[in-house]
Amino acid sequence: MQIKLVPGDSAGTVTAFYLSSQNSEHDEIDFEFLGNRSGQPYILQTNVFTGGQGNREQRVYLWFDPTIGYHYYSILWNMYQIVFFVDDVPIRVFKNCKELGVRFPFNQPMKIYSSLWNADDWATRGGLEKTDWSKAPFVASYRGFHVDGCEASVNAKFCNTQGRRWWDQTAFQDLDSYQYRKLAEVRQKYTIYNYCSDRARLPAVPPECHKDRDL
């Protein structure tokens, strides 16, 4: 998906692009763009829900102005990993850690959604900056949507492609060395929050954080 975010004073707003299933133990894969006051950088928040459990937020500053042009935001989701990409740069990996007791989203299909909504109770500086409705309308633009996946009814258990699709191949079961270098650069230069290192909120390190190389 190509997205151009809300320009100017967008404080309090959240532009979202995400996948979600539809039940109480839902799975969800989120891109959330947290609005800002004019001149301040946008924050991109990602999150992963499995079996109704989220609280896996990571936040990064984008290294460009996302309001003056379209940029690609994409998700690779297979049985091995979930990878969030910005302009083909991996910014986050969530590995299948079923062997560690961590649920992974593959038992239920997800639909694709986009939304623009008011979240001024938390989105900008923890809710200190409120939405200025005199700046409305707030407009985000989308184009170039493309999805490559297997169709499944809401009753399907999982997408069983038996290794035939491109996303099942070895090259997509892990990042390559170049991609890991780019991911490390994002973490070093642009990451401002990672739930894996938040000991005040999570005294014990979540088990997936080690496999995701988040520590």
Rounded to an integer, the average pLDDT of 107-117 is 92
Higher pLDDT, 11 or 214: 11
pLDDT one-digit tens code per residue, 44-86 = 999 999 999 999 999 999 999 999 999 999 999 999 999 999 9
Among all chains, which residue has been given the structure tokens 């007791």?
A: 101
- 28 tagged catalytic: yes
Task: Compute the mean pLDDT over every residue in the chain, rounded to the nearest whole number.
Answer: 92
Q: What are phi and psi of 86, to 5 degrees?
A: -125, 115
Examine the pLDDT at 29 and tell me if it is beyond 90. Answer: yes
Please tell me the predicted confidence (pLDDT) of residue 108. 85
Residue 113 confidence (pLDDT): 96
Confidence label for 179 from pLDDT (cuts 50, 70 and 90): very high
Mean per-residue pLDDT, 107-126: 93
Rounded Cα–Cα distance for residues 183 and 64 (Å)? 16
Neighbouring CB atoms inside 10 A of 43's CB total 20
The model carries a pTM of: 0.93
Annotated catalytic residue, options 28, 57, 129, 208 = 28
Confidence of residue 17 (pLDDT cuts 50, 70, 90): very high
User: For residue 56, how many C-alpha atoms fall within 13 Å in the half-sphere facing its CB?
Assistant: 27
Which pLDDT score is estimated for 207?
Answer: 92
Domains, the chain: 2-212 (2.60.120.200)
Task: Please give the pLDDT value at position 213.
Answer: 74
- According to DSSP, residue 68 is labeled S
| pLDDT(196) > 90 | yes
Q: Which pLDDT score, from 0 to 100, does residue 140 have?
A: 98
d(CA 115, CA 32): 9
pLDDT value at position 159?
67
Q: Measured between alpha carbons, how far is 83 from 93 in angstroms, rounded to an integer?
A: 5
Catalytic residue among 32, 57, 99, 208: 32
Is 185 catalytic? The answer is no
Instruction: Provide the pLDDT for residue 106.
Output: 85
Model confidence pLDDT, tens digit, residues 130-171: 999 999 999 999 999 999 988 776 555 566 666 678 998 999
Helix (H) or strand (E) holding 10: none
- Using a pLDDT cut of 90, give the percent of the chain over it: 82
